[in-house]
Chain A
Amino acid sequence: MSQELDDPKAADVHDDGVDRRGFLKCMAWAGTGLVWTMSGGIPVSQAFAKSIGKYGKSSDLTFVQISDSHMGFNKPANTDVIGTLKTAIDQINGLAVQPEFLLHTGDISHLSKPEEFDNVDQILKSANAKEVFYVPGEHDMLDDGNGKAYLERYGKSAKGAGWYSFDKKGVHFIGLVNVVNLKAGGLGSLGEEQLEWMEDDVQHLKHSTPIVVFAHIPLWSVYPEWGWGTEDSAQALGYLKKFGSVTVLNGHIHQIMQKVEGSVTFHTARSTAFPQPEPGKAPSPGPMNVPAEQLKSVLGITDVSFVKRKHSLAVVDSTLA
């Protein structure tokens, strides 16, 4: 079941009191420049420009998520991933409200080569926001040390394979790694050690603390047939049940998907490199070739604002076009 979020009916769900359970079953496909705000667990969609005015200028915390830059990729789906990443950074630098930091949800590189990481680092230096938080994708684990190169560069103060948490203006951020020690036939995996760490990490937080979890592979079952899910994500989300506002940000699938379940909002970001097909709509999840002039309309960035007073969080996706 899918639904265009820019369909006015999406907003009516809240206004008209239409059966919410039915709505939440929908796996929603988002259009360009669409906004979700979270308010008391009830999703409300709004027009892009309106939201920028309403939340952008008055928000307490704004950050931008970028994902799947796949530096080093040079196949027909995008022969200039350097150019599209630069465009993404230019776009971020042009936002009306500058983000305090960037989140990169993995697949920074295509083959974990030093020069690929170097190129990304160089391009991100041109961002006005100087702080960048990373989690690895499976493409960042391909060095001979199975992720050692990633950890040395991005995860010096992280635990295990690169997980960590931090706080910004009262929001607690948890970066998780679900791309290591994957089992034959299985999905993304967090593993026992990381789950124990996470349980401990959130144990002493107040229930009113807004939580943002970010990881590469979706922490919800988007399409297990293509491996788009994490086998032990339910356990991780179980630790977050007591919190009133949880936002889960993922990448990996190179397209926007959203789902709201109780107080948890799940969201996946577009790639800055190439699009992938909708679940089941192609023989495989490989890169999707689109006409060159359309490429930037299927790549993008995700702008997230949190308004403390309103206990709401606005997620704005915009394309590179």
Chain B
Amino acid sequence: MIALVLLGGVGRSVDAPEAITPEVKIDNFSFGPATITVAAGTTVTWVNRDDIPHTVVSSDSMFKSKALDTDEKFSYTFSKAGTYSYFCSLHPKMTGQIVVR
């Protein structure tokens, strides 16, 4: 119920920034969505839903998670605008992008 209320608020209200915590789901050896666009200052959270550990590592070494086991999370706050590419260092075919505006 709580989640529904918060999601409902995201689109309409700019007064509730605490509700805007975009999540990237790691599932079936892929990041979903593979590309997301967020405002500067946004914290993005990755959560691993696979039975195998994965990592979230930025291509320019700006951020790097430890190995995330099933259901473990990693968060990073993007303070500056730019396009940030990342991948799983265990399964480098897995790639994603955060676009910060």
Contacts and interface: CB of A to CB of B under 8 A. Distances in A.
Interface of A: 75-77, 110-112, 138-139, 142, 144, 182-187, 225-227, 283-287
Given A77-B51, A142-B67, A284 B93 contact: no
B39 interface: no
Most A-side CB within 10 Å, residue of B51, B87, B95: B51
B53 A110 contact: yes
Interface centre among A77, A184, A285 (most CB of B within 10 A): A184
Interface string B47-80: 0001111000001000000110110000000000
Contacts of A285: 29
13 contacts: A77-B51, A111-B53, A111-B69, A139-B53, A142-B66, A142-B67, A184-B59, A184-B92, A185-B95, A187-B93, A226-B29, A227-B91, A286-B29
B52 to A, nearest CB: 6
Nearest to B53: A111
Contacts of B50: 284, 286
Interface string B88-100: 0111110100000
Contact of A226 (B66, B87, B93, B95): B93
Grouping DSSP codes into helix (H, G, I), strand (E, B) and loop, the A interface class, with mixed when no group exceeds half, is loop
B28 interface: yes
A186 B91 CA distance: 9
B42 interface: no
Contacts of A112: 67
B92 A185 contact: yes
Nearest to B30: A284
A184 B51 contact: no
B28 A284 contact: yes
Nearest to B91: A227
A312 B5 CA distance: 69
Given A184-B95, A185-B95, 13 more contacts: A75-B70, A77-B51, A138-B91, A139-B90, A142-B53, A186-B92, A186-B93, A187-B92, A227-B92, A284-B29, A284-B30, A285-B29, A287-B51
A234 B92 CA distance: 19
A287 B92 contact: no
Nearest to A185: B95
B43 interface: no
B61 to A, nearest CB: 11
Interface in B28-46: 28-30
Contacts of B87: 184-185
Which 3 residue pairs spanning A and B have beta carbons closest together? A184-B87, A284-B29, A284-B28
B97 to A, nearest CB: 11
A225 B93 CA distance: 7
Interface in B8-43: 28-30
Contacts of A284: 28-30, 50
Nearest to A226: B93
Contacts of A227: 91-93
A287 B52 contact: yes
A183 B92 contact: yes
Nearest to A285: B29
A186 B92 CA distance: 6
Contact of A286 (B51, B67, B89, B92): B51
A231 to B, nearest CB: 10
Nearest to B28: A284
Contacts of A77: 51
B67 A111 contact: yes
